[in-house]
Amino acid sequence: MEMAEVVKEKLKEDKVDLHSAILALKRSMTDYKAERKIEWKSFKNKFNDDMEEIQKSLKNMKIHHKK
């Protein structure tokens, strides 16, 4: 397999993983129905952690795409 094909396949896999992560975040935002402040903080912290992971994935995809 050529290097270009390997990179293309990796980007395709990353795209699928990223799409799944984004859908999970959307679902968690839709399902969120907390009433107390503590629950909100917990939700917000988890959401921010997930967003950081997505950001890292996007940066990695960008790096692989440039090669």
- Alpha-carbon distance 66 to 53, whole Å? 20
Whether this model's pTM surpasses 0.85: no
Please choose, from the candidates 49, 45, 23, the residue with its C-alpha nearest in 3D space to the C-alpha of residue 34.
45
How does DSSP assign 8-36, residue by residue? HHHHHHHHHHHHHHHHHHHHHHHH----S
pLDDT of residue 64: 65
- The model's pLDDT over 7-40, given as tens digits with 9 standing for 90+, comes to 888 888 888 998 999 999 888 888 776 556 678 8
Tokens matching residue 26: 């959307």
Confidence of residue 65 (pLDDT cuts 50, 70, 90): low
